[in-house]
Amino acid sequence: MQAMRTSLDVGVVERGRGALLQLRHRAMNYELNFEYLVARLTPQLDEDSIARIRRAYEVAQLAHSGQTRDEGSPYIVHPVRVALSLVDELTLFSPTLICSALLHDVIEDSNITRDDIARMFGEEIAEIVWLLTKLEEVNLRDYLARIEAAAHTGAPIVKLCDRLDNLRSVVDTPRLEKKRRYIRTTEELYLPLASRTNQYLHNELSRCLEQARNQVFTLTSHG
């Protein structure tokens, strides 16, 4: 009986935490949220680690300068939210994973290379960012399999936080086909990966997936 009550309590906490974080992401001022991230990390990390994370943010901000999301927000809001998910939702304070989260799209979306990342942040972060880089010639299933095969790096956790933020944000895109694609790929590929990686992320992806399905149903049934 005690185990059942504990399970229920954890579920309530997880749903509440996810709902609060979703509200926070809708009113995102990315500079304030980065400073919030630093404030959360400061009691946990030394000055050198904080400086490294600030540098990763600056590099990402420069790499994504002028880029916007479908909903019109600056692209940099996305990697900041991914890093915040690691800290706020998973209580992970790894400077390596946080830097990787901030940098996870820079190779894909700018002229920054893997060698540049290695030179600025070291080989460990460069390897994670490279794993998270989706090359056009690689299909999604193989891409995720490669990430999962390198689970020891922490790349699967960062990738799932990336998908979680994108799934939370897809409700704001005007592109119906993108909503459908995110629903399909989350069901087919990301949920199974999450079930093997982290139960909280699996639960949050499932919850956001249901919201996205409901939105698509409403849009198509009234269209």
Catalytic (active-site) positions: 108-109
List, in order, residues 6 or more apart from 148 with CB less than 8 Å away.
156, 193, 196, 197
Q: Give the integer Cα–Cα distance in Å for 52 and 210.
A: 37
What whole-number distance in Å separates Cα of residue 13 and Cα of residue 146? 33
Contact 218, 176 (CB under 8 A): no
Q: How many residues does the chain have?
A: 223
Angle, alpha carbons 163-168-174 (nearest 5°): 105
d(CA 2, CA 166): 36
Whole-angstrom Cα distance, residue 111 to residue 121?
A: 16
Q: Phi first, then psi: what are they for 215, rounded to 5°?
A: -65, -45
- For 24, the token pair is 């926070």
User: Each residue of 96-131: b (16+ CB within 10 Å) or e?
Assistant: bbbbbbbbbbbbeebebeeebbbebbeeebbbbbbb
